[in-house]
Structure 1
Amino acid sequence: MQTDNLKRGATLMIASGLLFATMGGIIKYISAHLPNEMVVFFRSFLGLLVLFPWVWQRGFGQLKTQKLQGHLLRGLAGLTAMYCYFYSIAHMSLAEATLLNYASPLFVPFISVLWLGEKISGRLWVTIAIGFLGILLILKPGMALFEPVSLIGVASGFFAALAVVSVRRLTSSEPTLRIVFYFSAVCTVVSAVPLIWRWQAPEPGLWISLLAVGVLASMAQSLLTRAYSCAAAAQVGPFTYSTVVFAAMVGGLFWGEILDIFSFAGALLVCLAGILTIRLAGQRVLTVGK
């Protein structure tokens, strides 16, 4: 029975990865026509709209919280990760941008040690070191290490990890609905501010693409959540890296992007380290939100 659940969970996770990679491809296309601030706002706003039927059904009383500061921190961390991720998608190859964002499990243990005072095993530190070696290969020291877009890509993974740790602090007293709602609300409100000076009327065809981003993100998150309900996080979590494979395929098909030998080797190391980190630490290092 457990094997059947794992197969189902893996299938759902791979399907989620395909949708996330497709969403990344659409974001790359949209970013050639609209500023990053608008793409982030519409991703957040449409995500909030999708939540309203759920909130309506459960009742708005479910949103009362004593942890507003924690929700704000989680929202700002996730929003910053989204800004960095979407910017790197627009200016890097889709596979590399996705991979740097999915390196977030490597940052979680550092944040957990400094913020939560957790103990990290020696094996996990070795795994993390392998992952950061992979990141260095992707950034190509001496060639692109100090290019802003490369550092922004790394920052997307760091802030995604900060969001993960923030969620872990909230889950001790806050239900999932409340956490997800405040995340979407904070992202929507804060990302609306730059539109005062960055608004640009989208062409008619772009509205369909913007809507597709919101729909794909919601579907992918739903599949990801269902995947984790089928099997243990340490078992099904590694399949999240299917997103990187699909992103490489999308980037190669539509933009002719091919990873060079350094990026390919780095990708293998980061994926390997990310998978091992999830296997060793399980639910504690999983990426949340895109």
Structure 2
Amino acid sequence: MRRWFNSLPPYLQASVFAVIASLMAALFSVIVRIATREIDPLQAVFFRNLFGLLFIAPIALRSGFAQLKTQRMPLFLLRALLSMGAMSFWFSAIAYMPLAEATTLNFTVPLFGTVLAAIFLGEAVRKYRVAALLAGFIGVVIIIRPGSETMQLASLLPIAAALCMASAGLTIKSLSKTENSTTIVLYMMLLTTPLTFIPALLVWQTPSLQALGLMALGAFIANITQICNTNAFRIYDYSFVVGFNYLRLPFVVAIALVMFGEVPEIWLLPGAGLIIGSALFIARREAKLAKEARRINRGPSAAAIDLDPPPSRDNRQNINGSERR
């Protein structure tokens, strides 16, 4: 089976990993929804981090404790606080909102990421991305419909989660310049587990074995999601793989309809179209600009010779891996 899979074109391999990641992310949301029927979302956040730490610590520490040395602990702590906020808002959204609506509003992460990068990193936001941002936020307005009778304050939860996720993404972008990915993930779990235990104590109720089992399964599925996403981005271009992330929505709609009887409102369709379309445009626009920048950095002679011939499979993997590192 492995030999057959490795014989597939890189874009098909990446597609398989990306589709599995989207399905696992949808299943994770359903597991959290079921678990939060018994325990508070803040308690569920603690268990997700606790089990996540138990799963990743043995793997991360196989190479010893030397990789834990860092000079950037304040930034690690900021990233942990932002991740704690993101999970708290997101788990609360899953518990109190229709899954399809919460998932769609959470797709605003790239929109907030673009705005925050412009404010704090000084990245240029040209007119095309400004138009995409406006379209995406119009999609948000269509879904939550401010001033209407159907608007709920809970609709702000996935948006707050998206803002925290985008902010955490900026810290990861900075940390990745000096720290390896294993250190970044391990420190997040080491810091968020005790941090999330404090608010969990305020709403604590003894969980059943079923709730603990669900959260352990959820942490395991979340790890699978990360592994599949990492493999997909390693094998093929980011601008191609990122589009598969939005398959979460049809997966969530189908599962929520079958398990919880949730029928999406008609307003979700145009709103989701604007949010997803704008996020995809921004991703592809950034990929194109990065490609042009690399071509310029290689110099005019290299640019004249290399008219983007399709790289071999091994070269494509090496290129993508080096770019992300």
Which stretch of structure 1 is more off in the superposition, 152-161 or 135-144? Answer: 135-144
Aligned identity (percent) is 27
2:299 matched residue in structure 1: none
Given candidates 189, 196, 200, the residue that maps to 2:194 is: 189
The answer (yes or no) to whether the contact 1:46–1:214 under 8 Å persists in 2 is yes
The answer (yes or no) to whether the contact 1:137–1:266 under 8 Å persists in 2 is yes
Given candidates 76, 82, 86, the residue that maps to 1:77 is: 82
| Matches for 1:66-215 after TM superposition, within 5 Å | 66-143=71-148, 147-215=152-220
The answer (yes or no) to whether the contact 2:26–2:252 under 8 Å persists in 1 is yes
The answer (yes or no) to whether the contact 2:139–2:271 under 8 Å persists in 1 is yes
Matched residues in 1 for 2:62 and 2:38: separation? 37
Given candidates 208, 218, 222, the residue that maps to 1:217 is: 222
Matched residues in 1 for 2:288 and 2:260: separation? 35
Given candidates 7, 10, 30, the residue that maps to 1:5 is: 10
The answer (yes or no) to whether the contact 1:44–1:187 under 8 Å persists in 2 is yes
Matched residues in 2 for 1:234 and 1:91: separation? 33
The answer (yes or no) to whether the contact 2:145–2:151 under 8 Å persists in 1 is no
1:288 matched residue in structure 2: none
The answer (yes or no) to whether the contact 1:112–1:118 under 8 Å persists in 2 is yes
Which stretch of structure 1 is more off in the superposition, 166-175 or 145-154? Answer: 145-154
- Which amino acid counterpart does residue 80 of structure 1 have in structure 2? G
* Cα pair distance change 1:230/1:39, threshold 3 Å: same
Deviation of 1:235 after TM superposition, in Å, equals: 1.3
Matched residues in 2 for 1:148 and 1:14: separation? 32
Per-residue CA deviation, residues 59-89 of structure 1 (Å, 9 max, x unaligned), is: 1110111011111111111110111111001
The answer (yes or no) to whether the contact 1:144–1:150 under 8 Å persists in 2 is no
The answer (yes or no) to whether the contact 1:113–1:119 under 8 Å persists in 2 is yes
Matched residues in 2 for 1:70 and 1:178: separation? 13
* Cα pair distance change 1:127/1:235, threshold 3 Å: same
1:200 aligned counterpart, secondary structure? coil
Matched residues in 1 for 2:239 and 2:33: separation? 31
Deviation of 1:118 after TM superposition, in Å, equals: 1.0
Taking structure 2 as the reference length, the TM-score comes to: 0.83
The answer (yes or no) to whether the contact 1:112–1:165 under 8 Å persists in 2 is yes
Q: Is 1:19 matched with 2:20?
A: no
The answer (yes or no) to whether the contact 1:140–1:262 under 8 Å persists in 2 is no
The answer (yes or no) to whether the contact 1:237–1:282 under 8 Å persists in 2 is no
Matched residues in 2 for 1:155 and 1:239: separation? 23
1:193 aligned counterpart, secondary structure? helix
* Cα pair distance change 1:94/1:146, threshold 3 Å: closer
Given candidates 249, 268, 278, the residue that maps to 2:273 is: 268
- Which amino acid counterpart does residue 208 of structure 1 have in structure 2? G
Deviation of 1:166 after TM superposition, in Å, equals: 1.1
1:181 aligned counterpart, secondary structure? helix
Matched residues in 2 for 1:280 and 1:75: separation? 30
The answer (yes or no) to whether the contact 1:100–1:156 under 8 Å persists in 2 is no
Deviation of 1:265 after TM superposition, in Å, equals: 1.2
1:141 aligned counterpart, secondary structure? coil
Matched residues in 2 for 1:174 and 1:253: separation? 43
Taking structure 1 as the reference length, the TM-score comes to: 0.93
1:237 matched residue in structure 2: 242
Structure exhibiting the larger radius of gyration computed from Cα positions: 2
Deviation of 1:144 after TM superposition, in Å, equals: 6.3
Given candidates 29, 35, 43, the residue that maps to 1:38 is: 43
Per-residue CA deviation, residues 99-121 of structure 1 (Å, 9 max, x unaligned), is: 22221001111101111111112
Matched residues in 1 for 2:41 and 2:150: separation? 22
- For this pair of structures, how many residues does the alignment match? 283
- Which amino acid counterpart does residue 156 of structure 2 have in structure 1? L
1:119 aligned counterpart, secondary structure? coil
Give the CA RMSD over aligned residues: 1.9
* Cα pair distance change 1:158/1:193, threshold 3 Å: same
Unaligned runs of 5+ in 2: 1-5, 290-325
